[in-house]
Amino acid sequence: MTVIALLHRDSIIKQVSEGVMLDKVAESLGIAAPNISKYLASDPEYQQAREIGAELRLHRSRSALASLAERTDEEGLESAQSNLARVREARLRADQWFCEREFPHRWGQKQTVTVNQGLTLDGALDQIAGAVLDRMKVVSEQSTGQDGQIESETAQEISK
C-alpha cells in the first residue's frame, strides 16, 4: 500500500489540487485514503495541493449556490430549486467548516485580544509592607512591655 501511494504521488497531488476528494483518489488507485495521508502528510507539495483543492471546492460550492439563486429568480422554480438550494448551502457550510479547521492560518477566524492594563505592585507592596511593619511594632511593644511588666509576667508564667 505504501508503495502504491508513493508510486502515484504526482497523480495524487494533481487530483487533490484539482479538488478531488481524497477518498475518490484512493478508490481510483485501489488503496485506503488514510494510507495516502499517512505517507504524504509531511510532503510540502501534498500539503499545498490539499489547500488548493479545498479552495477550489469552496469556490465551486459558492458558485453553485450563486448560480442556483440566479436560476431560481429567473425561472421562478420554487419548490425543487429551494430544496436544492438548501442542500447546496449545507454543502457550502460544510466546505467552509472544513477550510476553517484544516487551514486556520488562511480561513480560520482571527481573534486578537489586546490587553492594555498595567499592573503596578509598588502601591500594593507598600501597603502590605506598612501593615507588616505596624504589626511588628505591636508585637515588639508587647514583648518588651512598657515598663518591662509584660516581659516579667511572661517569664513568671514560663517558670510555673
Residue 76, Cβ density class (10 Å: 0-12 exposed, 13-18 middle, ≥19 buried): exposed
| Grid cell in block for residue 119 | 499592573
Task: State the pTM of this model.
Answer: 0.51
> Exposed/middle/buried for 150, CB within 10 Å: 0-12, 13-18, 19+?
middle
CATH number for the domain formed by residue range(s) 2-107: 1.10.10
CA distances from 87 to 61, 73, 94, 158 (A): 10, 17, 11, 90
pLDDT tens track of the chain, all 160 residues?
457 888 889 999 999 999 999 899 999 988 888 888 888 888 999 999 999 998 888 888 878 777 766 665 555 556 666 667 777 777 788 888 877 877 788 777 777 888 777 666 777 788 888 888 888 877 666 666 555 555 555 545 554 4
At residue 147, the 3 state secondary structure works out as coil
